[in-house]
Amino acid sequence: MIFVYREVRDMYMLLVGIGGFIGSVGRYCLTILMNKTAPSFPFGTLLSNVIAGFLIGFIIGAEGQTVALPEKTKTFLTVGLLGGLSTFSAFSLETVTMFENGKYVAACANILLNVGLSLISAVIGMSVARMIFK
């Protein structure tokens, strides 16, 4: 029995790791792209967090309707992929750096935009899923 539990746990760890890798690489590429476009503000992190918020809201909203995701798929997507795509640590560091550099308005805007838009995008994602899968 313990051996079976270990295999299941190890499979979930692998799925989270693969998903996290894909999400992190996606976030890194998005950050590089956005830094070339608008280097004065961390739009890459903001966009990553907003996209992840929308997608996790969509997944949970779909599950609340008629869509039943297998637990492994849900874990891969939510904990792995979207956990790797979103980033609280980069957001925190970028905000603290802006404060340290005297960019108080930009730092406050970063806080409000990341938290506010990520929450709003999660709600929108849930609403879109509910409309689609109703």
Q: What is the pTM of this model?
A: 0.89
With helix as H, strand as E and coil as C, how does 96-125 read?
HHHHHCCCHHHHHHHHHHHHHHHHHHHHHH
Sequence letter at residue 17? G
Which pLDDT tens digit goes with each residue over 58-115?
999 999 888 889 999 999 999 999 999 999 999 999 999 999 999 999 999 999 999 9
Distance between CA atoms of 64 and 44, rounded to whole angstroms?
A: 30
Query: 55, 128 in Cβ contact below 8 A?
Result: no
pLDDT band at 9 (very low <50, low <70, confident <90, very high): confident
Number of domains in the chain: 1
Distance between CA atoms of 95 and 115, rounded to whole angstroms?
A: 12
Q: Which residue segment(s) compose the domain that 47 sits in?
A: 2-132
| Per-chain mean pLDDT for the chain | 93
